[in-house]
Amino acid sequence: MVEKLTERATAGRTRVGVVDADIHNVFPSREVLKSYLPSRWQRHLETIGPRGHDGYMYASTKYPKVSAATARTDAWPPSGLPPGSDLEFMQEQHLDAFNIEYGILNCFEHVGHELNDEWAAAMARAVNDWQIAEWLEKDERLRASIVVPFENAELAAEEIERVGDHPGYVQVLLLTRTLEPLGRRKYWKIYEAAERHGLTIGMHASNTTGVPPTPVGWPSYYLEEHVIVSLASQSQVISLACEGVFEMFPDLRLVSIEGGFAWLPPLMWRLDQNWKRLKEEVPHLKRPPSEYIREHLWVTTQPIEEPADPNHLLQAIEHFGADDKILFASDYPHWDFDDPNRAFPPRMPKELKRRIFSENAKKLYGFGQEGG
């Protein structure tokens, strides 16, 4: 299977220096996680274990059921380890096969939803130390997001202070379905710490806190959830802009991951139009909301909107008005992975593809520069 993918990747269309903004790595086993915990929390793991809002998170596979661990069927390593846990296999199947120059790891150990804040902080420390030892120090192409217990911003900021200066860490990972909108002041210590360390905020679409994916409750089908995944991203962007986060933290850079982006132009149009009439309520906003969004927000491509007429996607990018803020993401090893050789409309301008596949991410994260 790996051989077939390699052949496909080297069939003449592999680009030089692809930057992949969304790769998922996972712990190979609970025993490995345990080895990175102090004895107090090893006992906690053995006797109590994780406790969150989503019962299925640890007890069963996620959607879709036909794709265990949400992974491609060919992404299960020969070693028998879970997809995304075997570095050697990931190197062969993804990093080498698609000539990934830099890849950013977004680890989905769901520490953010843990009900015990101290345990969540211990989990975050274990995940981040494991990423340094087993990933960042073993492959110079890899960078990673810092996993934090984001519902307790004080503990999250402590973790950013602890590992934020490690050269392998370029981002702080938040998830979209939080207990409160991310613009609220309870989260500001995270932004302050990220800005101080020159880290971006990665806001990945996912569930952690039992909040439904829609404002009207839980959908019946995975098809519904996969289509409406962007709703939480939209809500968070509005919150961050209207609460004044981008005014308060002028150097903050936010990457919306796996939330799509064709919805951004009409969202900004609506925000600006209503701001003109209601700005007395938000005097902390000195400019139209769209200006803050265009300055501070980056987006990733997977799952990119794919209209029947590819020109409509190009129009959406034009309306976004910031094609320097779009980053390629594969979502490896998940089932809806985007192959770098087949992503995007065939008629997308070469210069735009070059920026999306490489230059935009290198500029955002400082790759290729001293210390990048």
* Boundaries of every domain in the chain: 18-365
The closest of 102, 66, 106 to 84, measured between CA atoms, is: 106
Give the list of residues 6+ apart from residue 231 with CB closer than 8 angstroms, or none.
Answer: 213, 214, 215
Query: According to the model, what pLDDT value does residue 64 have?
Result: 56
Asked if 12 contacts 70 with a C-beta cutoff of 8 angstroms, the reply is no
Q: Rounded CA gap, 228 and 218, in Å? A: 11
Query: According to the model, what pLDDT value does residue 62 have?
Result: 53
Burial (Cβ within 10 Å: 0-12, 13-18, ≥19) of residue 216:
exposed
Per-residue pLDDT of the chain (372 residues; tens, 9 = 90+): 334 433 444 444 556 689 999 999 999 998 999 999 999 999 999 999 888 876 544 444 455 555 667 889 899 999 999 999 999 999 999 999 999 999 999 998 878 888 999 999 999 999 999 999 999 999 999 999 999 999 999 999 999 999 999 999 999 999 999 999 999 999 999 999 999 999 999 999 987 677 888 889 988 988 888 899 899 999 999 999 999 999 999 999 999 999 999 999 999 999 999 999 999 999 999 999 999 999 999 999 999 888 999 899 999 999 999 999 999 999 999 999 999 998 887 788 999 999 999 999 999 999 987 554
The distance from CA 73 to its chain's CA centroid, rounded to whole angstroms, is 22
Measure Cα distances from 293 to 21, 175, 273 in Å: 19, 18, 15
Residue 19's DSSP bridge partners are: 102
260: left (phi over 0), alpha (psi -120 to 50) or beta: left
**What pTM was estimated for this model as a whole?**
0.92
Give the list of residues 6+ apart from residue 109 with CB closer than 8 angstroms, or none.
Answer: 26, 27, 33, 123, 127, 147
Asked if 105 contacts 169 with a C-beta cutoff of 8 angstroms, the reply is no
> Which residue type, as a one-letter code, is found at position 218?
W
Query: According to the model, what pLDDT value does residue 54 have?
Result: 63
Residue 23's DSSP bridge partners are: 105, 332
Q: Rounded CA gap, 311 and 316, in Å? A: 9
Sequential DSSP letters for 190-209: HHHHHHHTTPEEEEEEEE-S
Alpha carbons within 13 angstroms on the beta-carbon side of residue 102 total 24
Encoding tokens for residue 96?
Answer: 């080498």
Query: According to the model, what pLDDT value does residue 70 have?
Result: 82
Encoding tokens for residue 31?
Answer: 């025993």
Measure Cα distances from 105 to 22, 23, 24, 46, 308 in Å: 6, 5, 6, 27, 32
The closest of 112, 120, 119 to 173, measured between CA atoms, is: 112
Asked if 99 contacts 18 with a C-beta cutoff of 8 angstroms, the reply is yes
Q: How many CB atoms lie within 10 A of CB 41?
A: 20
The DSSP output letter for 8 is H
Query: According to the model, what pLDDT value does residue 57 have?
Result: 46
The closest of 286, 301, 303 to 244, measured between CA atoms, is: 286
User: Superfamily for 18-365?
Assistant: Metal-dependent hydrolases (3.20.20.140)
Query: According to the model, what pLDDT value does residue 158 have?
Result: 98
Measure Cα distances from 369 to 134, 295, 356, 362, 364 in Å: 24, 22, 18, 9, 11
The closest of 209, 214, 208 to 231, measured between CA atoms, is: 214
